[in-house]
Amino acid sequence: MSTSLDRRVALRDPTARLERMMEIREFEGRVKDLFFEGVVSGTTHLCEGQEAVSVGLAATLRPTDHVTCTYRGHGVALALGCEPSAVLGEIMGRTVGLVGGVGGSMHLSERAVGLMPTFAIVGGGIPVAVGAGLSCQVLGGDDVAVAVFGDGATNIGAFHESLNLAAVWKLPVVFVVENNLYGEYSPIASTTAVTDLAVRAGSYAMPAETVDGQVVDDVAAAVRRAVERARGGDGPTLLEMKTYRYSGHSRADTGPYRPDGELEAWQGRDPIALYADALVAAGTVTAGEVDALRSAVTERIDEVVAEVRQAPEPDPSAMFGHIHA
Amino acid sequence: MSTSLDRRVALRDPTARLERMMEIREFEGRVKDLFFEGVVSGTTHLCEGQEAVSVGLAATLRPTDHVTCTYRGHGVALALGCEPSAVLGEIMGRTVGLVGGVGGSMHLSERAVGLMPTFAIVGGGIPVAVGAGLSCQVLGGDDVAVAVFGDGATNIGAFHESLNLAAVWKLPVVFVVENNLYGEYSPIASTTAVTDLAVRAGSYAMPAETVDGQVVDDVAAAVRRAVERARGGDGPTLLEMKTYRYSGHSRADTGPYRPDGELEAWQGRDPIALYADALVAAGTVTAGEVDALRSAVTERIDEVVAEVRQAPEPDPSAMFGHIHA
Amino acid sequence: MTKLRMNQAVSAALADAMREDPAVVVIGEDVAVPGGVFKATDGLLAEFGVGRVRDTPISEMGFLGAAVGAAATGLRPVVEIMFGEFLGVALDQLVTEAAKLRYLSAGQYGVPLTVRASVGAGLGFGAQHSQCLETWFYATPGLKVAVASGPQTAYGLLRAAVRDDDPVVVLEPRRLYGGRAEVVTGDDGIIALGSAEVRTAGDDVTLVALGGTVPVAQEAADGAGWGAEVVDLRTLVPWDVATVLDSVRRTGRLVVVEEGPFSGGWGTEIAARVASELFGELRAPVHRVTSPDVPVPYAKPLETRYVPTVEYVREQVGELIETGRTPRPWWSREGAHR
Amino acid sequence: MTKLRMNQAVSAALADAMREDPAVVVIGEDVAVPGGVFKATDGLLAEFGVGRVRDTPISEMGFLGAAVGAAATGLRPVVEIMFGEFLGVALDQLVTEAAKLRYLSAGQYGVPLTVRASVGAGLGFGAQHSQCLETWFYATPGLKVAVASGPQTAYGLLRAAVRDDDPVVVLEPRRLYGGRAEVVTGDDGIIALGSAEVRTAGDDVTLVALGGTVPVAQEAADGAGWGAEVVDLRTLVPWDVATVLDSVRRTGRLVVVEEGPFSGGWGTEIAARVASELFGELRAPVHRVTSPDVPVPYAKPLETRYVPTVEYVREQVGELIETGRTPRPWWSREGAHR
Ligand SMILES: Cc1ncc(C[n+]2csc(CCOP(=O)(O)OP(=O)(O)O)c2C)c(N)n1
Ligand SMILES: Cc1ncc(C[n+]2csc(CCOP(=O)(O)OP(=O)(O)O)c2C)c(N)n1
Ligand SMILES: [Mg+2]
Ligand SMILES: [Mg+2]
């Protein structure tokens, strides 16, 4: 079986990027089913519709770069290379989970691919990425740190403090805001004084880009520009990814607060469909191969689900591990 | 003797504004002397050089407007109308102090003139002013709230959260940043990614002005514009007052970290001298009257100091008051 | 009397408070249009409008601070902090500002602010959304803390908190939101802050519980071979010292039942005070039945074990009564701790 | 051995730690060019340069969070929080992030972070710059807390904290910064976390003190008619249960001497534990000598009275020994409390 690192390296290939987006989509669908079935407890935050951001990002970063991400992190984890069984294992609270089941859906982590424990506190991961960038700067080398967070997080103090600090210290950090137009059930305009979030880089004299978050290679290109700046010692960048989450915020939320037709309009620019069309048009793959990929992904995820269902739950003693060094 | 409200109303008169700036200057000088004499314990944060901001602000606001200010609040308190004896009484921890001596230099308050308890936590007063603005909006009427804070405070999360919230809710709030170029011993450029702070209003689509904080009537005019917007229901404004503190940050700090000549350059645009010259030029007062004003202020503050020196210290029982309603 | 779920009792309390006093406003993330993620503010927007029921940006420091300022200048805000942990980004406004504003203004400004926050484990929300965090509010003169243990206390304590002229934190154990019970509303349903409730009579032991452990302690006592006075503390700061001392004087034994780590838990306050005041009068050492010293784990079998269970409480209390000695906690018995 | 003020002991510890390990960096407001407002980082910039000694913007959440991230990825940061209260704007990063990062990564990421914060009353800084706030860190598995009581402990605990692979908070009572004493530096000067020090022998009572109350308790014991084992707790989490129990077993009496409010103070943890473990073996109730339940007042005569004084401690302990009963605190005796 492939390792997480193999899965990561594979993303250099366009077809693998398409496949990975399909995998994330399929995965999130299963998580939703398993949640409704009652075998996933607590909460889940799905990222269907945002796959291009995760995959475009992962395709560009090195495994030694550091990534902080949020509770909406299944896609980022899979994109970075984490095995679907380990991610699902964590979500289902099994010993095969990334952190043995003590974390759950909101707390995924795999150091081998640079995924720091994902953050359930909005804004919590942003300064932590700044600190990872500080390590890169102080320890030498040219690794970078990336903070992934949502539009809603740009209203919390930690966002502001982090961008200012990274700018003043010229740290190798890329701030990636997934502007999916909602923070929980609140549309961005009801909570946020500006809706084009790249604007906010102006408070820190920081370069920024607005990126079409539905186009995986656009995401990758923008991230590459920002990462190059960071690796070259030119400091941080804010990237605003315009995207959309098809599911509601979490759990059973179906998004009834969304205006009619909004979801459908975004589905019309589905990142997987767009990329599949582009690859077919470019002759990289055939339509038949796309279908085959999709079937293969479905099959693999079927197996993963079956496997994790059988995986053991942790013993109470597991709660006492890893509290201190 | 005059009341705090009389002192406030008096500021409609230009000569009174000049006199009040002189009073603040004289007052701060005495506080410094008393600190070095050892009769003021703890800490003090003086505002010499920034008098025009305090007085220009106070001249414009109503006593029913709400003001939150920082530990560097002696000038704002005096400008708003608080009696010098009550302010010095608080600084010296006497029963005649504004809050009976339990607060000290950093905690001044007088509701009659709209001065909420000043804040010793950087940024602490900014959201509180937003809340006072919320009261104004919800309870009706057209009072406004003003937050006064320093350049350093624009780097803390509460600043960002407050401006966004006030903008989204269109609250009648004026944010006044006294950009005196330093936060403690750190020059602004070492801590802040932009040094023109009005820029930061852009993150909230908020109107902003950069104001010459050394010219009291410029301050008053800018505040008037912002307050009118607020009273008219058009929401918040950010005002950046370019100013300078002659003394160091606090206590015994003399500001050795300042570049040679910087202090002197600013003293060349001293707010009191500028205003005195302007009033003389306009024929409002004569040079002789200016001197007489200054002597009168000195005499009055002499008396205040003498009076407060004699004032009783609180009894231990005073520490048990006003904890609960 | 109507039968209400605990989240409905909360919204009923808020609605009654808002009807009684036009200065009451409700502020928080997704409290207005969506009616709260736990549906504890449902229906308020429709009745009271956008001026008084406000969805906020994600900025706890900002809107909690705004509530402090609003409280000081004429409103009576009730802030929802969706998960208690989020106070970690805003604690300053509560502990260092709100609690001291009256003091630092010599009574010129009061802060009639209520902060509601959901707390506790049991819903599978993991280590950062399952804590209780009571001690964040300890040692803070000026701040009161109440904890709901079901629909009636959720209603009654919240009503009292909103009427109170000082800042009050009301913690709501989120796993109880869905529980339904008869609730007395209106003035008769209001529960004075600082008063504990003795729920049952019993000769052998006093069980002091709070919030989420109240139903656990009650059930443990109900089926037990020993008799317990089960005390719902209801208010943690200031707690009802007289009622607890009276009870323990009668029973001679005290067990504090806590959700949360053993070390540094809120119950140390109760245990320390009672052990000193009733020195020489106790039949057994004061005992604290708590969770182990671990972050709240996610996997169901772990989380279930984390919160003291009915059986565990029953067993611990039984052993204390029987032996007169402090029972060892489950994690040191089974060698579960490495 | 050199004679150092406590702030010099701190900077000596930091310099030694930075020499020992190039991963150690120092971060905080005005710690670099100015050498710290309490001069506790003086000289570090000159020796270690701007890469490792960093002045920050005023943004505690930002730079504490950055330190968490840096600690998880290869550095060993020491953060100065100028006044402990400022953690009120950043507590999330310490309690909800740093303390749980190892757990939530199954050990893949550790957080070798030290947070130094000045605490306590005595310098006239008023209600928002004079608190101790220990209970903010309570009930947080994963977080350690040490408190300096003078130059040696400031040096030794800080060295241990920096070497520790987990997050440690070191509180420094700011009124002690100017006090001078002989300090053993280097490895011999390091004080293991979790170990209390029994400073004097005595038969009648154990006085457990922490930080700023250590010199007070010591002085009270020195001139008293009774004999005390004065224990400097040194580490509050985890505290040295064995040493304290041993001492109290010998003396039969425990008085905890605390700066800070009586209700909900850190000493309840010690009192509760000892009273339970030594049930039936004590000659008097466990007693806590504390400050009253008020915000720290500014005026000198008030602030002086706020912190337990030598005379007050002596008097309280004396009465406890003499009567075997809990003495009333000064504020309830003199009718000072309204
Ligand atoms: C400090 C804090 N406040 C509130 C929450 C509750 N919460 C969780 S997700 C969320 C919405 C975040 O929106 P956004 O940043 O846009 O990210 P998205 O969920 O859309 O990916 C909120 C309010 C939290 N976890 N932390
Ligand atoms: C949250 C917080 N962090 C740090 C401090 C310490 N401190 C007090 S004043 C100050 C500098 C503030 O600078 P600025 O905002 O420019 O105001 P100024 O003092 O220049 O008026 C600092 C860092 C504080 N009081 N609160
Ligand atoms: Mg969003
Ligand atoms: Mg400044």
**Per-residue confidence band for B240, with pLDDT thresholds at 50, 70 and 90:** very high
> Using the beta-carbon criterion (under 8 Å), do B203 and A206 form an inter-chain contact?
no
Q: Which fold has domain A5-310?
A: Rossmann fold (3.40.50)
Number of B–D residue contacts, CB under 8 Å: 137
Q: Is the pLDDT of residue A205 over 70?
A: yes
**Per-residue confidence band for A88, with pLDDT thresholds at 50, 70 and 90:** very high
A138 CA to chain B: closest CA distance, Å? 18
CA-closest candidate to residue B91, choices B134, B172, B33, B140: B33
- The answer to whether ipTM exceeds 0.95 is yes
Q: Is the pLDDT of residue D223 over 90?
A: no
Please tell me whether residues C39 and C116 are part of one structural domain: yes
Alpha carbon separation from D65 to A77, A157, B164 (Å, rounded): 22, 12, 22
Q: Is the pLDDT of residue C42 over 90?
A: yes
C-alpha D260, offset from chain centre: 12
Token reading at D23: 């991963």
CA-closest candidate to residue D33, choices B70, A206, B194, B189: B189
- CA–CA dist D215, D222 (Å, integer): 10
pLDDT over 90 percentage in chain B = 99
Please tell me whether residues C219 and C72 are part of one structural domain: no
Query: What is the dihedral sign for C-alpha A228, A230, A235, A240?
Result: positive
Q: Report, as an integer, the average pLDDT of B120-133.
A: 98
Q: D170, D189, D208: which is the final residue of a domain?
A: D189
Describe chain B by its helix, strand, coil percentages, rounded to 5. Answer: 50, 10, 40
Spatial strand order of the sheet with D287-291 comes to D197-198, D228-232, D205-209, D254-261, D287-291
Q: Is A119 in the pocket of ligand 1 (CB under 6 A)?
A: no
How close is the Cα of D61 to the center of ligand 2, in Å?
Answer: 14
Per-residue confidence (pLDDT) for residue B196, from 0 to 100: 97
Please tell me whether residues D220 and D115 are part of one structural domain: no
Q: Which residues pair with D147 in a beta bridge?
A: D171
Q: Is the pLDDT of residue D338 over 50?
A: no
How close is the Cα of D57 to the center of ligand 4, in Å?
Answer: 11
> Using the beta-carbon criterion (under 8 Å), do A102 and D165 form an inter-chain contact?
no
* Annotated catalytic residue within C129, C159, C234, C314: C129
pTM metric for this prediction: 0.98
Q: C124, C158, C189: which is the final residue of a domain?
A: C189
Residue C67's closest chain B neighbor by CA? B131
Q: Report, as an integer, the average pLDDT of D126-135.
A: 98
Q: Is A253 in the pocket of ligand 1 (CB under 6 A)?
A: no
> CATH no. for residue D245?
3.40.50.920
Phi, psi of A323 (to 5 degrees): -90, -45
Please tell me whether residues C148 and C53 are part of one structural domain: yes
Place of tokens 């915000």: D295
CB of A130 within 8 Å of a chain D CB? The answer is yes
For residues A105 and A40, is the Cβ–Cβ distance under 8 A? Answer: yes
* C129 lies in some domain: yes
With vertex at residue C169, the alpha carbon angle to CA C166 and CA C171, rounded to the nearest 5 degrees, is 155
Q: In this predicted model, what pLDDT tens digit does every residue of C227-273 receive, in sequence order?
A: 999 999 999 999 999 999 999 999 999 999 999 999 999 999 999 99
Please tell me whether residues D117 and D240 are part of one structural domain: no
Q: Is the pLDDT of residue A123 over 50?
A: yes
Chain A residues within an 8 Å CB radius of D163: none
**N- to C-terminal Cα separation, chain D:** 51
Chain A residues within an 8 Å CB radius of D96: 121, 124
Maximum alpha-carbon separation in chain A: 55
> CATH no. for residue C80?
3.40.50.970
C-alpha D125, offset from chain centre: 18
Q: Is the pLDDT of residue B157 over 70?
A: yes
> Using the beta-carbon criterion (under 8 Å), do D106 and A145 form an inter-chain contact?
no
Number of other CB atoms surrounding residue D180 within 10 Å: 13
Neighbours of chain D (3+ CB pairs under 8 A): A, B, C
**Residue among A107, A127, A164 minimizing CB distance to D65:** A127
Contact partners, residue C288, CB within 8 Å, separation at least 6: C255, C256, C258, C262, C265, C267, C268, C271, D272, D276
Please tell me whether residues D83 and D37 are part of one structural domain: yes
CB of A215 within 8 Å of a chain D CB? The answer is no
- 3-class SS at A13? coil
Neighbours of chain B (3+ CB pairs under 8 A): A, C, D
D114 CA to chain B: closest CA distance, Å? 22
- CA–CA dist C30, A182 (Å, integer): 11
- CA–CA dist C120, B108 (Å, integer): 39
pLDDT over 70 percentage in chain D = 99
- CA–CA dist A181, C53 (Å, integer): 22
**Per-residue confidence band for C335, with pLDDT thresholds at 50, 70 and 90:** low
Chain A residues within an 8 Å CB radius of B200: 203
Residue A189's closest chain B neighbor by CA? B168
Element (H, E) at D232: strand D228-232
> Using the beta-carbon criterion (under 8 Å), do B203 and A200 form an inter-chain contact?
yes
Contact partners, residue D114, CB within 8 Å, separation at least 6: D76, D77, D78, D79, D158, D161, D162, D164, D167, D168, D169, D170
CB of C19 within 8 Å of a chain A CB? The answer is no
**Per-residue confidence band for A166, with pLDDT thresholds at 50, 70 and 90:** very high
pLDDT over 70 percentage in chain A = 100
Please tell me whether residues C252 and C284 are part of one structural domain: yes
* C62 lies in some domain: yes
Q: D189, D213, D248: which is the final residue of a domain?
A: D189
Is residue D287 annotated as part of the catalytic site, yes or no? no
* C162 lies in some domain: yes
Question: Which of A37, A39, A92, A102 to mutate to probe the C interface, most C CBs <10 Å?
Answer: A102
Q: Dump the DSSP string for B46-68.
A: --TT-HHHHHHHHHHS-TTSEEE
Q: Dump the DSSP string for C224-269.
A: -SS-EEEEE--EEET--HHHHHHHHHHHS-EEEEEEEESTT-THHH
DSSP state of A314: P
Q: Is the pLDDT of residue D1 over 90?
A: no
**Per-residue confidence band for C1, with pLDDT thresholds at 50, 70 and 90:** confident
Please tell me whether residues D224 and D84 are part of one structural domain: no
Per-residue confidence (pLDDT) for residue D335, from 0 to 100: 57
> Using the beta-carbon criterion (under 8 Å), do D139 and C260 form an inter-chain contact?
yes
* C230 lies in some domain: yes
DSSP state of B129: H
* C73 lies in some domain: yes
- CA–CA dist C299, C303 (Å, integer): 6
Please tell me whether residues D53 and D124 are part of one structural domain: yes
Q: In this predicted model, what pLDDT tens digit does every residue of D248-261 receive, in sequence order?
A: 999 999 999 999 99
Number of other CB atoms surrounding residue C338 within 10 Å: 7
Please tell me whether residues C151 and C223 are part of one structural domain: no
How many domains does chain C contain in total? 2
C-alpha D272, offset from chain centre: 20
Which residue type, as a one-letter code, is found at position D175? R
How close is the Cα of C57 to the center of ligand 1, in Å?
Answer: 10
Please tell me whether residues D221 and D130 are part of one structural domain: no
C322: left (phi over 0), alpha (psi -120 to 50) or beta: alpha
Q: Where are the domains of chain A?
A: 5-310
CA-closest candidate to residue C203, choices C314, C289, C321, C309: C321
Per-residue confidence (pLDDT) for residue C333, from 0 to 100: 86
How close is the Cα of A55 to the center of ligand 1, in Å?
Answer: 22
- CA–CA dist C78, C20 (Å, integer): 14
Looking only at the bridges linking them, the beta strands covering D144-147 and D235-237 are: antiparallel
C122 CA to chain A: closest CA distance, Å? 9
Instruction: Output the average pLDDT for chain B.
Output: 97
* D241 lies in some domain: yes
- Among the residue ranges A118-127, A248-257, B217-226, C164-173, the one predicted with the least confidence is A248-257
Q: Is the pLDDT of residue C147 over 50?
A: yes
Q: Is the pLDDT of residue D215 over 90?
A: yes
Query: Which of C30, C58, C86 has most ligand 1 atoms within 8 Å of its beta carbon, as the pocket-test mutant?
Result: C58
Token reading at C155: 């209603």
- CA–CA dist C242, B202 (Å, integer): 57
Per-residue confidence (pLDDT) for residue D120, from 0 to 100: 98
C-alpha D222, offset from chain centre: 22
Please tell me whether residues C128 and C222 are part of one structural domain: no
Instruction: Output the average pLDDT for chain C.
Output: 97
Looking only at the bridges linking them, the beta strands covering A208-212 and B145-150 are: unpaired
Query: Which of A71, A126, A184 has most ligand 1 atoms within 8 Å of its beta carbon, as the pocket-test mutant?
Result: A184
Q: Report, as an integer, the average pLDDT of B46-66.
A: 98
Q: Which domain holds residue C100?
A: 2-189
- CA–CA dist A270, A291 (Å, integer): 16
* D338 lies in some domain: no
Q: Is the pLDDT of residue D337 over 60?
A: no
Q: Is A153 in the pocket of ligand 1 (CB under 6 A)?
A: yes
> Using the beta-carbon criterion (under 8 Å), do B156 and A155 form an inter-chain contact?
no
Which atom of ligand 2 has the smallest separation from the CA of B45? Answer: 19
DSSP state of B182: E
Per-residue confidence (pLDDT) for residue C337, from 0 to 100: 53
D128 CA to chain C: closest CA distance, Å? 6
Q: In this structure, which residues have their CB less than 5 angstroms from ion ligand 3?
A: A 150-152, 180, 182-183
Question: Which of A116, A173, A320 to mutate to probe the D interface, most D CBs <10 Å?
Answer: A116
